[in-house]
Structures are given as C-alpha cells and as structure tokens.
Chains A and B, each alone.
Chain A
C-alpha cells in the first residue's frame, strides 16, 4: 500500500505514444490491460537469469525456476484468499479454467434432466462450455433474467435455481453492462439446492478485492492478462475437496505420481491438473502483476476506478442521442461502459475515436445472447483501468461529440 495511483503513468511506456497523430488514450482494458515495467522486467529477468523447467531438475536453475513458479502460486492464493495453494491451478486463462470445470466436474456430476443455470449477460466463455455440456448430457441450460437497468434479477434467480440444478455459473462483473453481480448470495442459493457455484472472475479480479472464502464460491476462473499480467496465464480456484474428487482433464508429464504400463496414479494437488510444461514465465509475470496491484491495495484500485466512473458516466449520459447500457447510477456501474450513438453503428464510432487516438472496442463483446437480449447488433465499449485519468475521460467525451458531429454533417 501507499504508492500513489495518480502517479503511475511512467510505469507504462506503451501509453506514451501517438496514435493517428494524437496521444493514445487506451480504454480497451476489459479486453486486455497494459503491462507495467515491473511485469515486463520480471519476464526478462526470468529468461536472462533463471530459465529452466520446473519440478524436474536437481540443478540450481531448475530449483530457482520452480521456486519462483510456486511463489507465484502463493501470490495468487493470497490475492484471492484461498485456504491453500492446493486450491490454485495455473491455466491459460478464464476460458481454459471454465472448460476444465465443465470437462471434469461437469462431465462427472451432470446427468440427463439436471440443470445448469447461467445468465443472459455471460461472456461466451462462461456460456458455450455449459451449453455444450448440457447438449452432451441432455441437461437443461437455464438463463437468469436481467432487470431493466441490466442488473441480475435475483427474484428470477431464486426461481431458476432448483433442486435439479447442479451448477450455477455467473460472472462477478459483466464485461458489457458494468454491473457487479451478488455472487455471494447466488452461492448461498446454489448451496441450498445442492449445486456448486462457479464464478467467472475475469472482470472482477482486476478491479476489486475478491475473497473466495467470503464468497463461499466453489470455483473461480480468471485471466492474468486482464490484471496487467502476461497473456497465456490465468487461474482456476476450486475447493480442495472438489479437486480431490475430480479427474484431471489432461494427462502427461508433471501431473503423474507413478506410471505403469497399463495404469498410472496422479500427483498431488495442485499438480495433478497441470499436465506438461506450464507457462512458467507467465506465472512469474502474473505474480509480478499481483505485487504491482498490492502496492496500492485492491480497495484503492476499485476506488480510483469508481471516481472515474462518477466523473465520466454523467457526461456520457448528457450526450444527446447516446445510450448507455447497464445502470445509469455511477454507484452501481464499474469502469466498463457500453454505449451506442443513435443512427451510428459502433464500428463507425470506434473508427472515429481511433482517429482521435482513443482506443475503445466495438462489437458484440463475446456476448451475442446479451446483444440479442438488449436488441442491439453491437455496442461500443470504453473500459477504464488504474492508469486512466480524468483527462482520458475528457478525451473520450470530446471525441464522441466530434465523431457525432462528423457524421451529422457528413464532413467536418
């Protein structure tokens, strides 16, 4: 704690550049965040000094690599307050983590006629694995409805989750609507009916304190690259008793205890699930990203983002013809803000913003069922992170207005 969030731009060299002759304003953080020097340097340092395979050598470098890799696991454990590092698996990211749950826990526990409950706001990676599991098992996939302001309809949740439900899988923070879902209440509801609670933490871990014991979730999936870590690394938290009962999804080196000609036994947790050489540098980079975030503390990170939302959301709502999806009350909205301008396709809007150096995303945000639910083909989306400033918010608003004028007049 202690490091000042208003003074960190210098940690992100990538932000100091011109795009289309304008200073870059990077507002596509929900897709992926930029990396501080500390993370890039951790990768470089590892490759320059310590690179070796983990868990397989008696030599000094192998020992160092293993030690740093496992130290990163401990950093993740502490970051989400898991009971033990046995409960922390390294994966390629949220998508892989969710697929593992479906392929292992889902395959073993969901049968014909059972239910899997998700919501209309899920990212494809917390939707398609469940949809395909349901198809394989002839189980029923159910969707929790949304309230008019985009928040989850908890009355509907209480109806959708029944004694037939085996899995409830919900994003803690939506990557489109910017809402925070009450996953703790959902976990309670799921447990009352004997179901497990899967939390998609891709958008929550980067932005707020997350405590898996307080949430009492059974599984939590996340991606390192959305919290300033490298791409290709992420994690899966699961309660130890569940992992003990679950079969590995992949087989090979690292994950075995003993291999005979016709059968094998598995290594202990967490290695039982980590077949093959893992993304060692990625894990170390993720550890460095967690150290970086911990300098401020997640409460301060969240507060910084909330201040930006308080500042920018009312300005966006004041633009004539602009629709913001999700809650209009800044207190209920995270730094992920999806919007559209009347009569202008979000692609055209995003190209206009790009010409002004402002990077936003336009499209369906891997949430086609949500787009259908909102009855829009696509939206633009600005998403803020810790290095963004009020000046960035001003540039966003100004360039939206300028782009709107351009298309109204046909020229400038």
Chain B
C-alpha cells in the first residue's frame, strides 16, 4: 500500500517530537526573537532566543504548524542550544542542503536528531514545512531576512 511510503517522512522520532515538542513556549528574557509565516499555508512560528556570552543559552518556539514543521522546530531547538551563532549558521546551511537532497553524501552529524528529517527531500511539497524553524533561527540571529538560506531554498518554495 502506498501509505507505507509515509514511513520515510514520518519516522517515529518525528511523530514523538511533534506530539511532545521540546522547548515549546516562551522565554522569560529573550535577546532575539522573530515571527515567521509560511504564506502558502498560513503556518506561523514564533522563535525566541537568549544569547549569553555569544552562545545560545536558551531557546523557545510557539505557533501553529503541521507535524513536520513542529517536529523540525523541536529538533532544531535541541540541536542549537549551547552553540555560537556562527555554529548555528553552519547548521542552518547543513540542514538546508540536506532537505534539498543535493548532496546525499553530506556529513550530517552536526545536526543531531534533526538529521532524521532527511526523508523530506523525497516530499518536495513539504520542504518548506521543515525549513520554517531553521529560517526563523537564521533570521533571528542575523537580524536579516535569512539571505543565504532563502537563496538556497527559493527554487523549492511555493
């Protein structure tokens, strides 16, 4: 049955993260925050980051979204805690390359759990769900409109 292909996208870890997202809610004191929308589907993600001594000391997200966007946000928050903004940027790049599926031989170890979202590459319509949280991270840290990431992803969006 064709639904068995869904297993490639919705791995158990992904379903768990979505059902019980980590770092879901708000921070007492955020240094960087952003709200990002996915205009094609109406999903909204708020991301709050606390930077201490040039490291992400705490992070929280909230908003509405599908299983993939919620799980991706949860995994992203796990993965970037304790990282410097520069390290986080590298992870954003790695994640973006991974979901586009251009470099199957890529080393994904820096992404932690989030590397399990690799399967998204087989579901082009869902790439933007997976990248929403990472784009938000990028934008919140750079204070920009996520340039590097946006460029990489434009051909796969909308």
Which residues of A are interface residues toward B (Cβ below 8 A)? Answer: 20-22, 344-348, 351-352, 354-357, 362-364, 368, 371, 377-378, 399, 402-403, 406-407, 410-412
Contact = CB atoms under 8 A, between A and B. Distances in A.
B3 A347 contact: no
Given A371-B42, A378-B41, 5 more contacts: A20-B5, A348-B10, A351-B123, A377-B64, A410-B10
A406 B1 CA distance: 12
A347 B41 contact: yes
A21 B2 contact: yes
A364 B40 CA distance: 8
Contacts of A354: 125
B42 A377 contact: yes
B66 interface: yes
A355 B5 contact: yes
Contact of B12 (A344, A411, A412): A411
B29 to A, nearest CB: 28
A396 B130 CA distance: 26
Contacts of B68: 347-348
A20 B4 CA distance: 11
A362 B5 contact: no
Interface of B is mostly: helix
Nearest to A19: B2
Contacts of B1: 402, 412
A107 B126 CA distance: 41
B44 A355 contact: no
A207 to B, nearest CB: 26
Contact of B2 (A20, A362, A378): A20
19 contacts: A22-B2, A345-B65, A347-B41, A347-B66, A348-B66, A348-B67, A351-B6, A351-B9, A362-B41, A364-B41, A377-B42, A377-B64, A378-B42, A378-B43, A403-B3, A406-B3, A406-B6, A407-B67, A411-B7
B15 interface: yes
Given A345-B67, A347-B66, A412-B1, A352 B42 contact: no
A120 to B, nearest CB: 16
Interface in B98-114: none
10 closest Cβ contacts across the A-B interface?
A345-B66, A347-B66, A364-B42, A377-B64, A363-B41, A348-B67, A355-B2, A22-B2, A20-B2, A378-B42
Interface string B1-27: 111111101101001000000000000
A402 B1 CA distance: 10
Given A345-B67, A351-B123, A410 B12 contact: yes
A378 B39 CA distance: 11
A412 B3 contact: yes
A357 to B, nearest CB: 7
B129 interface: yes
A319 B66 CA distance: 21
B3 A355 contact: yes
Contacts of A20: 2, 5
A90 to B, nearest CB: 27
A346 B68 CA distance: 12
Of listed A347, A368, A377, residue having the most chain B CB within 10 A: A347
Of listed B4, B42, B68, residue having the most chain A CB within 10 A: B42
Contacts of B125: 351, 354
A347 B12 contact: no
A405 to B, nearest CB: 9
A317 B52 CA distance: 52
A363 B7 CA distance: 23
A347 to B, nearest CB: 4
Nearest to B129: A347
Contact of B44 (A22, A377, A399): A377
Contacts of B2: 20-22, 355-357
A355 B123 CA distance: 10
Nearest to B12: A410
Contacts of A355: 2-3, 5-6
Contacts of A362: 41
Nearest to B126: A351
A412 B6 CA distance: 9
Given A363-B42, A378-B43, A410-B15, A352 B3 contact: yes
Contacts of B12: 410-411
A402 to B, nearest CB: 6
Contact of B3 (A344, A345, A356, A410): A356
A407 B44 CA distance: 22
Contacts of A403: 3, 6
Contacts of B10: 348, 406-407, 410
A377 B5 contact: no
A344 B66 CA distance: 7
A238 B125 CA distance: 39
Interface in B35-69: 40-44, 64-68
A24 to B, nearest CB: 12
B126 A363 contact: no
Contacts of B126: 347, 351
A21 B67 CA distance: 24
A22 B1 CA distance: 9
Contacts of B6: 351-352, 355, 403, 406, 412
